[in-house]
Structure 1
């Protein structure tokens, strides 16, 4: 039994979600090969080879894989799939982009966002916005699986000695191309890896008032997140969104300000170690999961909290 793990990286280092997926792969058992796909991604290979538990690091470095176009990545992995019993990827925005396409090309079902490995063919995953956990067994010859990184500890980055192999085949389907991209620039920690997160909801009122969370986040060294309602209202960009249709986070401290705690949002943050909620509605669902709750007007509480820090 062999496992192919598709890496998430930034062309210079592996993302934390990839290291968590390595941990999940080791729990399945068998030989593990890591596939690095991209354009100018070769520098990642040397660091990846040091991750314990990996047999080989496969590198597909070509202009066709620039920005990891889903059609090209899926076609590449399809050509490699016959040698593997499992294909894993982090359940990130990138993994959610190409893994369903790969599953369709292989004519198998996808098992999404696993949180536990029960056996080589059996996994646990959340359903109903995380309100229930399903145990799923796959009978497909190739298991296509995405891994929720917050549910597995990251693997070590030193101690391994995997061999590095450059792939010569290039998959360029010509089905799509990247026209442009706009990246949000921030000096704050990345949302999915931040140890402290300050998140706001519809209760912030408007874009100008939402900005008060920035000052609080700066003092705490925190990332800033938001509910879907806040994103849809235009308070912040959609890369701030936490929840079922956004990012899944599990920081050491999560401060929710002016958010009600709808189940779609809770699905993305209820694994946080300590949850603090500030809301003027004492019946808000967020207080049911919060470790500490403050029933107060956020426009008074947040400035006082910031001043106290």
Structure 2
């Protein structure tokens, strides 16, 4: 079996989620990678992808039509290439979730979403009911289309590979969408989904100013990424780019610090695989304490500044 992995990249650098997808695809068989983007960026990303351990071949499609990895243009290309592949694998990120369903529709097969385990060539495990149960599923479709949860697989080594690079051409511009530009937020902190430490705040922080005053200094002291519950995002404390949970980002850092987060099931679905969970909450009966490795019951407005100072 040979799998085609969709590569996510920015500025010629391959995202960590792709490295996890390569590891997952390697469990199916040989790994080839698909890199799309404008000509210069696709070329740089293709060269970087060829160095990833385990990647045998890199297919590069460059040009204005593929700038921004527009799913309306990328999916027909991927579906066309799938004539020579058994599986299409994409990270379960915003981009992957945008492209993979379209590929599945064009191939007339069912997509397997949020795969966390590969038990065989056609047998997989995936979370259901907000992660409270794990389903084992088997596909009988002639082609497989998977999105894989990056936190469930180790990252492939970004160096050490020597894959060949091949230029490919596809249908081009579908005329359905156009990439105008990318206004990406820039931060010196680690990216949320790949950070080793995450400090998240909840609705108990009262407002955006308090969130900034308490959570950000603690995160900076620890070199951590900042996260938030959906309640905090909906209340306007911070933008939804930082939301952790079932409808936000899935994280599994070495250390997750939940400040003023009660632990609704939707939030737990996004962070319960963290190696060590620390919860700070004044409510001793909050659900977050049921999964926390370390729980501190008390007033976060006193505890967090004191913790930050002592660090």
Alignment TM-score > 0.5, same fold: yes
- The question of 1:298 aligning with 2:297 is answered no
Question: CA offset at residue 131 of structure 1?
Answer: 0.4
Question: 2:280 maps to which residue?
Answer: 278
Cα distance in 1 between the residues matched to 2:181 and 2:261: 33
Question: 2:68 maps to which residue?
Answer: 67
Question: 1:241 maps to which residue?
Answer: 243
Contact 1:7 1:14 in 2 (8 A): yes
- Secondary structure of the corresponding residue to residue 114 of structure 2: strand
Cα distance in 1 between the residues matched to 2:12 and 2:120: 33
Instruction: Summarize the alignment of residues 67-216 of structure 1 with structure 2, pairs less than 5 Å apart.
Output: 67-179=68-180, 181-211=182-212, 212-216=214-218
Cα distance in 2 between the residues matched to 1:20 and 1:216: 29
Cα distance in 2 between the residues matched to 1:275 and 1:75: 42
Aligned residues: 308
Question: CA offset at residue 179 of structure 1?
Answer: 4.5
Contact 1:198 1:257 in 2 (8 A): yes
- Secondary structure of the corresponding residue to residue 46 of structure 2: helix
Cα distance in 1 between the residues matched to 2:276 and 2:129: 23
Question: CA offset at residue 21 of structure 1?
Answer: 0.9
Cα distance in 2 between the residues matched to 1:288 and 1:226: 19
- List per-residue Cα deviations over 1:165-200 (Å, max 9, x = no partner): 011334211111234543222111000111111001
Question: CA offset at residue 52 of structure 1?
Answer: 2.4
- List per-residue Cα deviations over 1:144-172 (Å, max 9, x = no partner): 00111111111122332211001133421
Question: 1:35 maps to which residue?
Answer: 34
Cα distance in 2 between the residues matched to 1:217 and 1:154: 24
* Segment drifting more, 199-208 vs 182-191: 182-191
Pairing partner for 1:252 from 251, 254, 266:
254
- The question of 1:288 aligning with 2:290 is answered yes
- Secondary structure of the corresponding residue to residue 9 of structure 2: coil
* Segment drifting more, 94-103 vs 252-261: 94-103
- The question of 1:17 aligning with 2:9 is answered no
Q: Where does the alignment leave 5 or more consecutive residues of structure 1 unmatched?
A: none
Question: CA offset at residue 295 of structure 1?
Answer: 0.7
Q: Where does the alignment leave 5 or more consecutive residues of structure 2 unmatched?
A: none
Cα distance in 2 between the residues matched to 1:203 and 1:241: 15
C-alpha RMSD of matched pairs (Å): 1.2
- Secondary structure of the corresponding residue to residue 293 of structure 1: strand
* Segment drifting more, 198-207 vs 151-160: 151-160
- List per-residue Cα deviations over 1:228-258 (Å, max 9, x = no partner): 1111111101100111111111111100001
- List per-residue Cα deviations over 1:6-27 (Å, max 9, x = no partner): 1111132211111111111111
Cα distance in 2 between the residues matched to 1:98 and 1:163: 24
Question: CA offset at residue 139 of structure 1?
Answer: 0.6
Cα distance in 2 between the residues matched to 1:22 and 1:224: 27
**TM-score relative to the length of structure 2:** 0.96
Contact 2:76 2:171 in 1 (8 A): no
Question: 1:5 maps to which residue?
Answer: 5
Cα distance in 1 between the residues matched to 2:251 and 2:165: 32
